[in-house]
Structure 1
Amino acid sequence: MGYHPDEFRLYTPEFHKLNEKLDRRHFLTKTSLGLGALAAGTLFGAGKPFGSAASGTPGLSEDSQEALLQALPHFAPKAKRVVYLFMSGGPSQFETFDYKPKLAPMFGQDLPDSVRQGQRLTGMSANQSSLPIAPSVFSFNQYGESRTWVSELLPHSARVVDELCIVKSLYTEAINHDPAITFFQTGSQLPGRPSIGSWVSYGLGSLNQNLPTFIALVSKNASGQPLYARLWGNGFLPTEHQGVQFRSGPDPVLFLNNPEGYDGTDRQEMLGYLKQLNQLQNEALGDPEVEARMAQYEMAFRMQTSVPEVMDTRGEPDSVFELYGPDSRDAGTYAANCLLARKLLEKDVKFVQLYHQGWDHHGGLPGGIPGQCKKIDQPTAALVMDLKQRGMLDDTLVIWGGEFGRTVYSQGKLTATDYGRDHHPRCFTMWMAGAGVKRGFSYGETDDFSYNITQNPVHVHDFQATLLHLLGVDHERLTFKFQGRRYRLTDVQGKVVQGILA
């Protein structure tokens, strides 16, 4: 710890040996990019290493890839930041926003084959002898100037309905939770791809150098389908683009605080020497992950000051806590996370994602969903109102929704007061609000059974393409080359949903 930085190299002979040792594999690795780029430069012309970006011409080197990214955003963005409220488990559209009054006289009747059309069922209801129709037991009313139908379970959301753009015609191919959630968050049903927030971080960078570009918040003490860190992971993108989970409690970010016996000066000095070690390794190997690691260490040091400040909500007036509801004083709850999300957005964190479990109502839905809606209704509406009154809703995109919808038929026993609903990927509801989307607007329609889409279908990749579009990004041009192939969030599909854009 007493070495001068310039003397440090004298005490690292192993790095000198590493530099001197250049075997065939390292030679080809270190020279192939340079030789390839040099040769391709004669083909494509100086100053245009990518050819036409819009045409998807493959990139030639990391430097060329970086040059393309520097052109982002591709066009003027409507949204500067995003807060995505992910309702894990699949909220029922029948009990929230997709009002189906014609179902009431059909109680208990078997779902017609003409509606099902042979579509596959999950293993949980495939063996049922019948698929009895279960009308919702909850009433709906029209609210706002838009006269939008909203369930009695969401009275606070009903008050902000004129700010919402409700999309009732989402669909997905995934029929089970983990692949469906993974598909929404990464564009693939298989794990390993970068999450939405990581793509945004990679493409657009940060507006605040003292906080991560992408932050994940998970409601505490919630039960339901498991949530894995890979849902906010960076996949094959550089690790600096990974979402950072903020937790409630004394250590909101794991391993951020100084170990016992250390102070800030000690940590700074240690990081200085660690940076030199990484620089030596970078010179020897040319591995971009080494640079990403250095950036992460430096960010962690800055976060030691910025995180405690942003996590402290004690300075908020009582009126704010009253707006978000009583749970907002309990750190780690959904309500407290909504309030924290607003603070993070104020600090120009570009992508904030809240995960809230508990929407998987296969049985006992009338007894279970009211409590679930009560937990999220007031804080969600408060976040929209809070952003609006602070003048932030115009350039902040708010998203609410889950991974799929629920079936019109009851899974298992059906009574006049009790039923459950199975997974339904064929149509479900989400909403967006704020930057760049129409206000007080409903898009897409489903049949009388909310089983099939009858107008304006929106695929998961369409949703992802639209999200990126609102951030000023052409989803077809935001790519990353990995294992010989160029990947993007929307894979080889997706189109911007023009009908919801303001």
Structure 2
Amino acid sequence: MKNEFLEYQLNMNRRKFLSRLSLGVGSLALGSLLVPGLFGNSSGEEAPFVPGMPHFAPRAKRIIYLFQNGAPSQLESFDYKPKLREMMGQELPASIRMGQRLTGMTSGQSSFPLVGSHFDFKQYGAARAWISDLFPNTAQIVDDICIVRSMFTEAINHDPALTFFQTGAQQGNRASFGSWMSYGLGSENKNLPAFCVLLSRGKGNGQGVYSKLWSNGFLDSIHQGVQFSSGESPVLYLNNPEGIDMANRRQMLDQLAALNDQSYKEFGDPEINTKIQQYEMAYRMQTAVPELTDLSKESDDIIKLYGPDCLVPGTFAANCLLSRKLSESGVRFIQLYHQGWDQHGNLPNEMAGQAKDVDRASAALITDLKQRGLLDETLVIWGGEFGRTNYCQGKMTADNYGRDHHPRCFSIWMAGGGVKPGIVYGETDEFGYNIVKDPVHVHDFHATVLHLMGLDHEKLTFKHQGRRYRLTDVAGKVIPGLMA
């Protein structure tokens, strides 16, 4: 009896309570007796977070995060610095560097020659934003996006920097961004997971991505990201084996659920119920996923918009189109990783290829969402884990150079979902080395995105090993200047 009541307390929330009982004063009083603290308490202590309920009216319902893994150079994309061309080959002034810690790849260099972008920039849109010739399609949607030039982080190497953006901490074993969204807001579609992951890879130097980046961490495993593959089966092991039909599968799941229910009654472990939910989700996905991943019903205009690569499974373009379909179907958080942006050498050639892979499809996604009336409720994010140095790594020629990691300043862009469109936020110095206006830390970025989704980053917490954890740890502030 004690375990059953404990489970009742764990699983009861406002949504379930109000859906099962009338909304009279008597029902509210009964609810407060059954679950103390559900509607607040008189002791002055903060009421516990209730999963599935936003703290206030959200600007966005869903997120599509186009993560450019490996860190694209801001100096060849969205942060124009003609000073670097003027001083090509000259030494980076010590007063600018200010003794910053370097990676092992350039710490042994005897000099730090400045290198300007190989590519030209032009101004676009009402804000006259400078955009590189590498991104002609993004330039055409500049009035729909917010370019942030003043992002910064403390992480100087790929794994901790990537982990920081995805989990709010540089170490592993934390809940990922998408898992926090699933925990905080739940799913809009019972037939699909709240958090989906798509992978693609360009021809450039790649950095690996790992399942820890979409892990549920200390949250219930139902909140873990579901990875889609580019093979015949978009979700591994989802299809029934030969000789098993849906009726057989239903019978097996019912019997398995009965066994798990017996185990739960004996041990009282909530993770057992989570496993039952996962099996049921997989069963429902067997019907929903094949329909979603079938692009044959897309119009010729949509195929033309995204480009012919969108018909090749596993490409960035195909994943962008699939992410629109997933978002349209109510998936809360779609995470795309496009690998290949780590240009320590041969940057002009490699980055040109990477940009060609993603520019058209990224812009197409914004256009597609906008013409369907979905952009206002869908937050799209584009960017990597840190930036690139203004000086050359290794040998430099007029047509060939590389850039090392640079955490002090870099650029991302955001669109839709309550973000202020058509602006450039933040500013770096003329060398593109330090932020001089409106800095945005990773924790600030997370706090702002959560706010757009209707969540207070200080209240979205989970108690684990005696401590209340949150995505923004003990820092972060919402940036009003980014919001419409």
Question: Could you tell me the TM-score, scaled by structure 2's length?
Answer: 0.91
Matched, 1:131 2:112: yes
Structure 2, unmatched stretches of 5+, are: 10-31
Matched, 1:172 2:148: no
| SS of residue matched to 1:368 | helix
Which aligned pairs between 1:81-480 and structure 2 lie closer than 5 A? 81-219=62-200, 224-480=206-462
Partner Cα separation in structure 1 for residue 5 and residue 422 of structure 2: 57
The alpha-carbon distance between structure 1 residues 335 and 121, as it changes in their structure 2 partners (threshold 3 A), is: same
1:227-268 per-residue CA deviation (whole Å, 9 max, x = no partner) reads: 001111111100000000111121111111112211111110
Residue identity in the other structure for 1:151: S
Query: Residue 249 of structure 1 contacts residue 331 of structure 1 at CA under 8 Å; is this kept in 2?
Result: yes
Residue identity in the other structure for 2:105: M
| SS of residue matched to 1:219 | strand
1:184-218 per-residue CA deviation (whole Å, 9 max, x = no partner) reads: 00001001101100000001001000011000000
Query: Residue 202 of structure 2 contacts residue 340 of structure 2 at CA under 8 Å; is this kept in 1?
Result: no
Query: Residue 168 of structure 1 contacts residue 430 of structure 1 at CA under 8 Å; is this kept in 2?
Result: yes
Q: 1:102 Cα shift?
A: 1.7
| SS of residue matched to 1:478 | coil
| SS of residue matched to 1:307 | helix
Q: 1:31 Cα shift?
A: 10
1:319-346 per-residue CA deviation (whole Å, 9 max, x = no partner) reads: 1111001211111100000011111111
The alpha-carbon distance between structure 1 residues 285 and 438, as it changes in their structure 2 partners (threshold 3 A), is: same
Partner Cα separation in structure 2 for residue 48 and residue 83 of structure 1: 37
CA radius of gyration, larger in: 1
Counterpart of 1:494 (choices 473, 476, 481) is 476
1:104-146 per-residue CA deviation (whole Å, 9 max, x = no partner) reads: 2101111101000011000000010000000111100011222
Partner Cα separation in structure 2 for residue 220 and residue 121 of structure 1: 27
Partner of 2:16: none
The alpha-carbon distance between structure 1 residues 281 and 449, as it changes in their structure 2 partners (threshold 3 A), is: same
The alpha-carbon distance between structure 1 residues 214 and 278, as it changes in their structure 2 partners (threshold 3 A), is: same
1:11-65 per-residue CA deviation (whole Å, 9 max, x = no partner) reads: xxxxxxxx9xxxxxxx9x9999999xxxxxxxxx956527969x99577xxxx65
The alpha-carbon distance between structure 1 residues 57 and 421, as it changes in their structure 2 partners (threshold 3 A), is: farther
Runs of 4+ in 1 over 4 A off after TM superposition: 29-35, 45-48, 50-53, 55-59, 220-223
Residue identity in the other structure for 2:192: L
Query: Residue 201 of structure 2 contacts residue 339 of structure 2 at CA under 8 Å; is this kept in 1?
Result: no
Partner Cα separation in structure 2 for residue 275 and residue 56 of structure 1: 42
| SS of residue matched to 1:167 | strand
| SS of residue matched to 2:350 | helix
Partner Cα separation in structure 2 for residue 288 and residue 131 of structure 1: 56
Partner Cα separation in structure 1 for residue 315 and residue 84 of structure 2: 36
The alpha-carbon distance between structure 1 residues 170 and 52, as it changes in their structure 2 partners (threshold 3 A), is: farther
Residue identity in the other structure for 2:37: P
Partner Cα separation in structure 2 for residue 282 and residue 221 of structure 1: 46
Residue identity in the other structure for 2:191: N
Query: Residue 96 of structure 1 contacts residue 150 of structure 1 at CA under 8 Å; is this kept in 2?
Result: yes
Partner Cα separation in structure 2 for residue 221 and residue 415 of structure 1: 24
Aligned residues: 459
Partner Cα separation in structure 2 for residue 207 and residue 460 of structure 1: 27
Query: Residue 152 of structure 2 contacts residue 442 of structure 2 at CA under 8 Å; is this kept in 1?
Result: yes
Residue identity in the other structure for 2:260: N
The alpha-carbon distance between structure 1 residues 290 and 437, as it changes in their structure 2 partners (threshold 3 A), is: same
Structure 1, unmatched stretches of 5+, are: 1-18, 20-26, 36-44
Query: Residue 394 of structure 1 contacts residue 434 of structure 1 at CA under 8 Å; is this kept in 2?
Result: yes
Query: Residue 200 of structure 1 contacts residue 351 of structure 1 at CA under 8 Å; is this kept in 2?
Result: yes
| SS of residue matched to 1:300 | helix
Partner Cα separation in structure 2 for residue 205 and residue 329 of structure 1: 31
Partner of 2:18: none
Residue identity in the other structure for 1:270: M
The alpha-carbon distance between structure 1 residues 381 and 216, as it changes in their structure 2 partners (threshold 3 A), is: same
The alpha-carbon distance between structure 1 residues 80 and 32, as it changes in their structure 2 partners (threshold 3 A), is: closer
Q: 1:69 Cα shift?
A: 2.6
Query: Residue 50 of structure 1 contacts residue 58 of structure 1 at CA under 8 Å; is this kept in 2?
Result: no
